[in-house]
Amino acid sequence: MTIKKASAFVAALTLCLTLVSCGNASGQSSSQTSAQSSTQSGSQSSSQAQESAQQETSSKKAVAKDGATMQTADPSMPTRVPMKGGTKINMHFGDKVIPGVLNDSETAKALIAKLPITQHVSRYSHDFCGVTEELPYKQDEVHYGWLNGDIDYATDAPYFTILFEDEGVSEQYGSQVNIGVITCPLKDISGLEGSFDVRIELAE
């Protein structure tokens, strides 16, 4: 009877130790799985963050100041510095002459080829603007906003426009192609009122 009890005790102890051993193995496997899952999750999060950053960079909109040479020392003058070697023009608002420099963009070159022309414009809150003939342009030159003093071609109408203020809030407006800048104080044009048939010609 004593031998049977001893045998039963040994069998029970062996079973107990076996169950404890399985539990530990199971626990280790669970921890390893959890760690692997955490690593994979972290890797996925990192990948998603990189993808989001790439999408944000690729979707960043082009704006007027991109690549522009600017001056900020004198706010009474145009922000954009005229292109060196650009084409000088005079724009006749009645007796008032507004000088400017056109750049070497495809759009500006097409306009230069048409000069002299008469362009009808009217004064609005931040510009003089008028519907003009369609001009060619490169899609990568289309941007949002303007710099004070810019001469732009707006592709959505199309418009010829001279922008003299509000550059700080201008990036809400798209479809702009910069073709040049005026070279006189901003007040010379912002002080004008009404509508004009502007004679645009090459400067002598």
Mention every residue, 6+ apart, whose C-beta is less than 8 A from residue 118: 197, 198, 199, 200
Write down the pLDDT at residue 60: 82
Q: How far apart are CA 201 and CA 155, in angstroms?
A: 22
CATH number of 87-202: 2.40.100.20
Per-residue pLDDT tens for 7-25?
Answer: 444 444 443 433 333 333 3
Mean pLDDT value across residues 61-82: 97
Per-residue pLDDT tens for 138-150?
Answer: 999 999 999 999 9
Q: Cα angle at 124 between 121 and 127, to 5 degrees?
A: 70
Write down the pLDDT at residue 53: 42
Name residue, tokens 């145009």. Answer: 78
Per-residue pLDDT tens for 120-130?
Answer: 999 999 999 99
Mean pLDDT value across residues 90-98: 98
**Torsion angle (degrees, nearest 10) of CA 7, 13, 17, 18:** 40
Write down the pLDDT at residue 204: 79
